[in-house]
Amino acid sequence: MTTASTHPLVGELVDGRYRVLRHLADGGMATVLLATDTRLDREVALKVMRPDLAADDTFVSRFRREARSAARLSHPNVVPVFDQGEDGGQVFLAMEYIEGRTARAVIDAEGALTPRAALDILEPVLTGLAAAHEAGYIHRDVKPENVLIADRGPIKVADFGLARAVTSQTTTAEDGVLFGTVAYLSPEQVERGIADARSDVYAAGLILFELLTGQRAVEGESPIHVAFQHVHGSLPVPSEVVDGLPPELDDLVALATHRDPDERPRDAGGYLAELQRVRADLTPDQLDRRPPAERRAAVAGTATIAHARPRPTTAIATTAAGSGRDDTTTEQVPPSRRRRRGRGVLVALLLAGLIAAGGGWWWTQEGPGSTVLVPELAGQSQEDVESILTQHELTLTEQRAFDEKVPEGDAITSNPPIGTQLSKGSDVTVVFSKGPERYEVPDLDGRTTSQATADLKAKHLTIGTTSQAWDAEVPTGQVVSSSPAAGTSLKRDATVNLVISKGPEPVAVPSVTGKSAADATTAIEDADLEVTEADEVYSTSVAKGAVVSQSPTSGTLLPGETVTITVSKGPEMVAVPDVNGLSRAAATKKLQDAGFKVSVQTFLGGPLDEVRASRPGSGSAPKGSTVTILVV
């Protein structure tokens, strides 16, 4: 960024503090010098205003106000303002010195960049703008020349808010200054002279176009032509200039450069979020795809066009040049005629002077050249505003905006502001309040999370926290409830918390083994489960009519699922065979074959090996029970 040119201040001490080291560059508003802050022993960029601007009291007043405002903005991606002052008619601004290049120099040197490189530059720019917009500051002159890419350190945005100090009287087309600014003006700035955060977003979209293509989106032969295209023309699509660019980048540029500011993101933070979303969706191949070599060479090899300075106004000669007569000779006229002619000329001149004076008075006091001051309009109703402007012979252009404090229908602000001197018949843009910006929470019950997200986005609201809850009626994955509830009015971008259904809550399976079939059925149904009975089975351990087993035996089931129980028929009864007179072995076998267990008792050791009795000895007994035999 260093140039070989010199400046009268090089070597001088400005304001008794800043030792000027060398000349760096010239801009539309000022000359930029490298200086040392002798008080803090650090290098600073000293921006010295153009002499014609420094001589404009209105500009100097605005400049000081905007410089103080910019100095309050502190962010890693914004060039900080250290000081501002005036010394010997030199109005200056001391800012951080960034060693590196501007985005304009990068584009001029390299032409079209890869999408990754373009987004790498624009993302910190939007980060800095987003912080400013959140703090209530607007840049008003976002362009590649104000994007500083440091050799070491973050990318930063310079000249924050200073564009507001430049009036229409101080803006010229010299050295392409107006070209450089008009190329990034939003339609509302061109048409109505107003700017808000969305105007900065518009300019950021044009910078993205230029980074991706290596050329300006809007070109023209004059500033008026360029401005006309912003308002009435259509912007080209990046992929039409550079083959192979993803359509997502076309959409990203189009989103920021919509002619209607209401269709753009409301501030740089919103555009930054959209940029990050698009970037995350692009593949590495798409991000790193180089523009065609011929495209880069064509752009990078094109010299920057310097727009000629307008020629100074040339005074028209009072002599009749080219009349064919020698100016040193005069026609011989009798003295009396010369005296009469002289008196006639004098009378004509006096009359012309009176007419001119009267006409001048009429022009400045009553005619088109007369001026009025913009009255106080803030807080007035629209009817009162119309009446006041009519009394002041000014015309009204309406705009609407949300406002948290100004009642609906009342004026928020005017442009130009109160006290501005205007010609009669001039237009004053008044922004009327639409009241607080509020959106109703839609009915989200039964919607999926993605559907709820879309519904909230359509209402300019966002999802906050999501939690889950059991619900027997709302299917899994759908919204059970929202907080705040449907119909509640919220500010733009407010969050709505959702409760998402996990489906019916599982219930514990009750243990009913050993209970009667009736009691078991009641216990299972009370747990909101269904009961089914398997075929009854014999059981020697569980009484008849009681539950022998169940499936499942434990754990959890969803309401309405089934528990199967098996009911006891009691023990199976079989006839006890007669074993009297049989040997011990024969009796044992006969009883075991019948399904009994055998217990043997002997008398005197059972020398005869003969069964004399059994217990039970006749009838029937539960199968599997024990029969005792007596062996003698």
Domains and CATH numbers, the chain: 13-96 (3.30.200.20), 100-300 (1.10.510.10), 371-433 (3.30.10.20), 438-501 (3.30.10.20), 507-567 (3.30.10.20), 573-631 (3.30.10.20)
- What proportion of the chain, given as a percentage, has pLDDT over 70? 83
- The H or E element that residue 451 is part of is helix 449-458
Q: How far apart are CA 161 and CA 180, in angstroms?
A: 17
For 330, the token pair is 């005069």
Token look-up 């790193």 returns 288
Contact 211, 299 (CB under 8 A): no
More confident residue, 209 or 90: 209
Beta bridge partner(s), residue 148: 102, 156
Q: In the structure, what pLDDT confidence band is assigned to residue 232 with cuts at 50, 70 and 90?
A: confident
Contact 70, 160 (CB under 8 A): yes
Instruction: Let me know the angle formed at the C-alpha of 162 by 158 and 166, rounded to the nearest 5 degrees.
Output: 135
Mean pLDDT, residues 378-397: 91
- Cis peptide before 334, with omega less than 30 degrees from 0? no
Residue 114, pLDDT above cutoff 60: yes
Q: How far apart are CA 494 and CA 334, in angstroms?
A: 95
Contact 133, 269 (CB under 8 A): yes
Q: How far apart are CA 220 and CA 225, in angstroms?
A: 5
Residue 238 pLDDT: 95
Residue 305 pLDDT: 31
Residue 468 pLDDT: 94
Q: How many CA atoms lie within 13 A of 559 on its CB side?
A: 10
Residue 200, pLDDT above cutoff 70: yes
Residue 338 pLDDT: 45
- Specify the range with the lowest mean pLDDT, choosing from 53-67, 93-107, 413-427: 53-67
Q: In the structure, what pLDDT confidence band is assigned to residue 140 with cuts at 50, 70 and 90?
A: confident
State the chain's mean pLDDT as an integer: 82
Q: How far apart are CA 209 and CA 241, in angstroms?
A: 10
Residue 253 pLDDT: 96
Contact 563, 524 (CB under 8 A): yes
Q: Encode pLDDT of 320-353 as tens digits.
A: 333 333 333 334 444 444 444 544 544 444 454 4
Residue numbers annotated as active site: 141
More confident residue, 511 or 425: 511
Contact 576, 621 (CB under 8 A): yes
Q: How far apart are CA 461 and CA 494, in angstroms?
A: 5
Residue 631 pLDDT: 87
pTM of the entire predicted model: 0.48
- Cis peptide before 571, with omega less than 30 degrees from 0? no
Q: In the structure, what pLDDT confidence band is assigned to residue 181 with cuts at 50, 70 and 90?
A: confident
Mean pLDDT, residues 420-427: 85
Nearest to 186 by CA among 160, 207, 215: 207
Question: Which one-letter DSSP state was computed for residue 236?
Answer: P
Token look-up 């979303």 returns 277
Q: How far apart are CA 43 and CA 37, in angstroms?
A: 6
More confident residue, 180 or 288: 288
Token look-up 């990046």 returns 238
Radius of gyration from C-alpha coordinates of the chain: 48
- Cβ neighbours of residue 17 closer than 8 Å, sequence gap 6 or more: 37, 38, 39
